[in-house]
Structure 1
């Protein structure tokens, strides 16, 4: 059983490969966070990977059809809210095949040391050109929050913001700008890790 104050790690994914079990093993070998993997319609060819993750103690939730990363995140947050009601928050690993356990821990540490603060962590992405810069500009203009130079790969969401996340519509790629804009208007600070 987990300490109820630990953040829950939520990993939305479709069609995982061997890097996902390796990431989970690395997390498990160092920290005892609850891990919730949301299978976003991967199909029968990935059943073995998800069963192996369950055997390591992960909770695996399944969307029978692809609903998108945003809905998968909401599924994971909803489960975490119900099973770990006094957790400090949720660490959403939006790019699980390209992040490191150390980056996840960095977000967890920030979530613990900066209560009620939204935490962004980003990594280099392919195609970071003019479109990415326009998206960064639009995100900051519409929400009031700076966006990591390289995009958001890990998002730390304080537990107090869980209901807001669940109530907002999602884009296929993650939480909508409305979610961030609402938190900005409510006065929640944001920190960008690099």
Structure 2
């Protein structure tokens, strides 16, 4: 336990945080770093009460900056002071992470010292709040589509991290709850292995003490998917608008070919728009090869769309060709996201 430090980001904590710290020390851990994330003067007594404990270090933010920034503050402290530890375990301040589970994480890290170890909760239990169950399923699915990694619990705050990875994790963007998701996404490109251990699923008062903002923080977590959808919608609107403009310009100039020419010209320009938006705004990366890859993917999706609708169409559908195409293209839209993330705009 001497080789492991427990990090607790704390924003307006209550007695449950104090109990968690006592349990951690009783379990045998000898170093706890608590980050006061701008809780304010009314919580000064709490932090003053834990500051005299020899095993506890309190770091402070003058103003609330978010969980991600609090974790980075602790990472900076550990590296700057060259603490004689091999790993950290991050835990929440609301009493939902048990010291016994932290011991599980520590044992797993001892057996697999190169792994980042996640404490995975069981969301099938009846006492799990609906918003937590739904949020985990949604995030788990999107994370697997976006990153290609299958995890049981992507939103867990109980994580064991070898100190040798902290410098890399300090370069990961994000200041609030989205940092934890970005952190997981940043591991695969570096070849850092992930493993999970099952932990107790504890929800106190249906998780009312959580400072997670469903609108603001969900936006930060899901924004890459939101921007991808908006990029596709904007490109579709541009394609239709350009098609109408070219129809007006070419109707008299090329009466026999104006529809074909207008379709091709509109699609080329709208696809270039989509490429540049996805490269620079959605995924934020990509090499010179990405343009060629993008058009290979676009051509492949067009062929797959036509072939799928043709093969799946049956007489009993009547005039359901349009509905069938919408369903097929929806699946291909998600497929396009996965391929663009993993191949088209990958980092070389």
TM-score category, normalised to shorter length = 0.7 to 0.9
Q: Secondary structure at the match of 1:132?
A: helix
- 2:172 aligns with one of 168, 173, 181: 168
Pick which of 40-49 and 169-178 moved more: 169-178
Structure number with larger C-alpha Rg: 2
Cα distance in 1 for partners of 2:83, 2:147 equals: 28
Which residue of 1 is the match for residue 62 of structure 2?
64
How do 1:96-107 residues align onto structure 2 when only pairs under 5 Å count?
96-107=94-105
Q: TM-score, length-normalised on structure 1?
A: 0.88
Partner of residue 36, structure 2: 39
2:19 is aligned with 1:15: no
Which of 82, 91, 94 lines up with 1:93 in the alignment?
91
1:146 equivalent in structure 2: 150
Structure 1 residue 11 displacement after superposition: 0.3
Q: Within 2, Cα distance between the matches of 1:21 and 1:118?
A: 26
**CA-CA distance at 1:94 after TM superposition:** 3.3
Is this contact kept in 1: 2:109–2:160, CA < 8 A? yes
Task: Report the more deviating stretch, 114-123 or 147-156.
Answer: 147-156
RMSD in angstroms over aligned alpha carbons?
2.1
**How far is the alpha carbon of 1:192 from its aligned partner?**
1.2
Relative to structure 1, is the Cα distance of residues 19 and 153 closer, same or farther in structure 2, using a 3 angstrom cutoff? Answer: same
**1:111 is paired with a residue of what secondary structure?**
helix
**Mind listing any 5+ residue stretches in structure 1 that lack a counterpart?**
none
From 107, 113, 116, the equivalent of 2:114 is: 116
CA distance in 1: counterparts of 2:50 and 2:17, whole angstroms: 9
Deviates more, 1:139-148 or 1:89-98: 139-148
Contact in 1 for aligned 2:65/2:175 (Cα 8 Å): no
- SS for the counterpart of 1:107 is helix
C-alpha separation in 2, matches of 1:86 and 1:154: 21
Q: Return the TM-score normalized by structure 2.
A: 0.51
- Distance (whole Å) between structure 1 residues aligned to residue 19 and residue 93 of structure 2: 14
Cα deviation, residue 15, structure 1? 0.6
Q: CA deviation at 1:150?
A: 7.6
Offset, 1:141: 2.8
Displacement after TM superposition at 1:10 (Å): 0.5
Say if 1:63 and 1:154 are closer, same or farther in 2 by CA, change over 3 A. Answer: same
Aligned equivalent of 1:186:
190
Please give the per-residue CA displacement for 1:2-48, whole angstroms capped at 9, x wherever unaligned.
94xx1211000101100111111111122133100001111111111
SS for the counterpart of 2:185 is helix
Aligned length: 191
Q: Which runs of 5+ in 2 are unaligned?
A: 199-348
CA deviations 1:85-132 (Å, max 9, x no partner) are 442121111354211110111111212221110111134553124333
Structure with greater helix share of residues: 2
> Is 1:128 aligned with 2:126?
no
CA contact (8 A) 2:19 2:95 kept: no
